[in-house]
Amino acid sequence: MRRSGRGRAGRSTEANSLTSFLRRSSSTSRRIPSNPPTQGSARVCLLQIQSNKQQTARGHRVDATMVGNRAWFAGLFSGSGKRRQVSAEKIVLDLTPLQEQRLQSLKERLNVPYDETRTDHQESLRALWNASFPDTELTSLVSEQWKDMGWQGVNPATDFRGCGFVSLENLLFFARTYPASFKRLMLKQQGMRTTWEYPFAVAGVNISYMLIQLLELNSVRPKSLPGINFIKVLTGIDECSIFYGLSEHEDAFDVLYCIAFEMMDAQWLAMRASYMQFKEVLEATRQQLERELSLEDLNGIHDLPACNLLYK
């Protein structure tokens, strides 16, 4: 995996800064998974994947074969290694009216910034809290309580600026459509966990951004195979969508987001990562998702080998 070229002094300064913050935060931290995660420490996480030149500290060496292995770990996604991938050069992208309509609708969603003064945006944020912690009342939209979900500070609005309202919509869709998976990931209920876990909510925003880039949704037309195949999925009908009452896949982007979140968490566990390695985990997830979205026989979300993660 390509690494940025910051020097030893830069890495030392960053590590010292992290150590100092962890010492200050130790009195309020809770070990996972015995308790729900307190993730206010997210603000020291360098999770902005736009900052590709930023060097992340490493707790231990990650085996390169884990990142690049097509079958991924423990054979969980071995199906993607046995199925043919096809080159984007062999595909002519002629959109049907329905594909054009849904692609345009999705792009319009991506252009909506989060506005904390809008009533509908406020309601969506409250709905996210209620879906996440149904037994705990949210005292205010600006509250220390948000740190328990993994936001950087007391106001999630600051974290939405990098990706817009769609990142809130993605999280809310995940919580409502796959509540068991959402809760398992948010509360870190599976696998061997580290003391300093990735911040759930901020990770979700980064996953939204990663998908937008991978699928080239800011371009007039995607040129890569993952982006082209995704457009096919926009009008596909599959078992996954029918089971959850989605009918046709207007919600393909949101469902793919949920799958990507599950993939990221599984990769996190496989790499035995600490949160300063989140950028590397996200890149490994992106590579795996790119391979799965390049499969020749991809006609719907259920064709992704990683889709099974939503039903654990």
Q: What pLDDT score was predicted for residue 275?
A: 79
Q: What pLDDT score was predicted for residue 312?
A: 72
Highest-confidence range of 55-59, 187-191, 206-210, by mean pLDDT? 206-210
Mean pLDDT score across all residues of the chain = 73
Q: Quick one: which H or E segment has residue 235?
A: none
Q: Which two tokens stand for residue 90?
A: 């062999």
pLDDT exceeds 70 at position 18: no
Neighbours of 59 (CB within 10 A): 13
pLDDT exceeds 70 at position 103: yes
Tell me 294's DSSP state: T
Reported as a single tens digit per residue, the pLDDT across 37-76 is: 334 333 333 344 333 333 333 232 223 322 333 233 333 3
Report percent pLDDT > 90 for the chain.
Answer: 44
- Give the span between the Cα atoms of 92 and 89, in whole angstroms: 8
pLDDT exceeds 50 at position 203: yes
What are the C-alpha distances in Å from 286 to residues 22, 42, 193, 281?
Answer: 29, 21, 22, 9
- Give the span between the Cα atoms of 233 and 240, in whole angstroms: 12
Tokens 């889709």 locate to 307
- Torsions phi, psi for 155 (to 5 deg): -130, 105
Tell me 59's DSSP state: S
Q: Is pTM, for the whole model, over 0.85?
A: no
Give the dihedral sign, CA 129/134/138/143. Answer: negative
Reported as a single tens digit per residue, the pLDDT across 104-141 is: 889 999 999 999 999 999 999 999 999 999 999 999 99
